[in-house]
Structure 1
Amino acid sequence: MKELRLQVNTLFYFVLATLSVVLLSLAKLFFDLQLSQIAAVQFFIAIVATLAVSVHFIFALSGQKCVTICNQGLSHFNVFGRRRFIPSEEIIRLDTKSVLGLKAIQIHTQEKRITLLAFKITKKQKKTLQQLGYLA
């Protein structure tokens, strides 16, 4: 069985970290302007987002959150941390798109479309996926 583990998309995490820093700096600006309620909410959102991104990034680097594609199907974690498996019979096609410099993988099934931002496919893996029949 040929099994491919997708790589971590570090650019995605860099963009999220940058957005968190922007939110934190705006919260400081609102504190300086005596808009404490807005600043407190924004500061809380920025801290929660930073912690969530950090935990997700650590899990992705350690291999606890991964996307695996094989000839039997696709295995991934959803937003809530539950492992999901999609059999290869349900997968119609895989697309890779670039949106504002971020590479996204779209998995089209019979019922829905799944978009993965935190992982990317290398050129070597694209060739293997073409051999498996996932990419045209």
Structure 2
Amino acid sequence: MRELRLQINVTFYATVAIIVMSLLTISLFVTKGHDDTLLKSAMLLSFILIGAINLNLVMTLSGKRQASMCNNGLYYISTLGRRVYIPVEGITNIRVQKLFGIKITKVSTTDGSVHFLTMQFSSTQENKLRKFGYLAQ
């Protein structure tokens, strides 16, 4: 099996963008006549989320944040830039779940679990992993 690079999870970014924009829109309309700190904090939170998601997307598109699976194990670069390698002996199973239309890839290891929200396997990659017995049903 060759190296399988995880793709960008476009559904995740679209869902987060819709949530952030709706939160921002609600806080903009409601704070016009009110001086409520809760709504202003919601607006601040939406700006922080927009910045974090944009930074994550730019890092993913530029190749600074990536994940790949091969015969030897799983290699990924975390959000903070830490390079992590998990040997194949340490991986117990890989499960792809859908939650609100977003694919969440969960890699269970002997030490814990790693969740990928912004990265995903393509359908052909999932079929290859199932065929070779790497992916849980």
TM-score (norm 2): 0.88
Structure 1 stretch 103-112 or stretch 76-85: which is displaced more?
Answer: 76-85
Structure 1 stretch 87-96 or stretch 30-39: which is displaced more?
Answer: 30-39
Which residue is equivalent to 2:111?
111
Which residue is equivalent to 1:86?
86
Unaligned 5+ residue runs, structure 1? Answer: none
Task: Among all aligned residue pairs of Structure 1 and Structure 2, give the percentage whose two residues are the same amino acid.
Answer: 27
Which residue is equivalent to 1:95?
95
Instruction: Give the C-alpha shift of residue 36 in structure 1.
Output: 4.1
Which amino acid letter does the alignment assign opposite residue 11 of structure 2? L
Unaligned 5+ residue runs, structure 2? Answer: none
Deviations 1:64-111 (A, max 9, x none): 211111111111233433221111110011111111111111101112
Which residue is equivalent to 1:48?
48
Which residue is equivalent to 1:129?
129
TM-score (norm 1): 0.88
Which residue is equivalent to 1:28?
28
In the alignment, the residues of structure 2 paired with residue 72 and residue 133 of structure 1 have an alpha-carbon distance, to the nearest angstrom, of 15
Structure 1: which 4+ aligned runs deviate by more than 6 Å?
none
CA RMSD, Structure 1 to Structure 2 (Å): 1.8
**1:30–1:38 Cα contact (<8 Å) kept:** no
Structure 1 stretch 80-89 or stretch 50-59: which is displaced more?
Answer: 80-89
Aligned to 1:19, the other structure's residue is in SS state helix
Aligned to 2:89, the other structure's residue is in SS state coil
Instruction: Give the C-alpha shift of residue 123 in structure 1.
Output: 2.2
In the alignment, the residues of structure 2 paired with residue 85 and residue 10 of structure 1 have an alpha-carbon distance, to the nearest angstrom, of 25
**2:65–2:79 Cα contact (<8 Å) kept:** no
Which amino acid letter does the alignment assign opposite residue 92 of structure 1? T
Structure 1 stretch 86-95 or stretch 54-63: which is displaced more?
Answer: 54-63
Instruction: Give the C-alpha shift of residue 131 in structure 1.
Output: 5.3
Structure 1 stretch 39-48 or stretch 9-18: which is displaced more?
Answer: 39-48
